[in-house]
Amino acid sequence: MRLLLLAVGNRQPEWVNDGYREYERRFPPHLTLKLQEISAPRRGKSRDAEQVREEEGERLLKAIPEGAYVIALDERGQSVTTRVLSGKLADWLQVGRDVVLMIGGADGLADGCLQRADWRWSLSALTLPHGLTRIMVAEQLYRANSLLEGHPYHRA
């Protein structure tokens, strides 16, 4: 099964890239995590935040593989424990569909992305930088899988 992280923006500090890659490389061959960066549209005086968010949304939706289970990272989504996330991952593995996780741009996800999502996941009630969100998603998915496989990485 493949986990695909779609993230708006392609200019992250090196510490973000290093942190994300550290977790990406730890995934086992039967469960891969890949990042696909979606270029952010240019902002300008003639374009408001809603127009930019809608264009980002169109780009995100076009990148979703057919038949994928889609998760929107959204502050209004469901907050879960690592054990609950591990159970969800077990369900996704059993079904065998690719899973896509969407991280929007500075103004959040477009309504179309939220409507397309099969599940909305909130990492925190805090406002998080998008680069840090990439790392946190990768780490939590790795931790959830470690729990499924009985590895000592997760200590509840």
Residues at the binding site for S-adenosyl-L-methionine are: 73, 104, 123-128
3-state secondary structure of 35: strand
Residue 137 structure tokens: 């998603």
Can you say which residues are annotated as belonging to the binding site?
A: 73, 104, 123-128
Which strands make up the sheet holding 69-78, listed edge to edge? 32-38, 2-8, 99-103, 69-78, 119-121
Alpha-carbon span 21 to 42, nearest angstrom: 27
Q: Give the closest residue to 101 by CA, choosing from 85, 80, 119.
A: 119
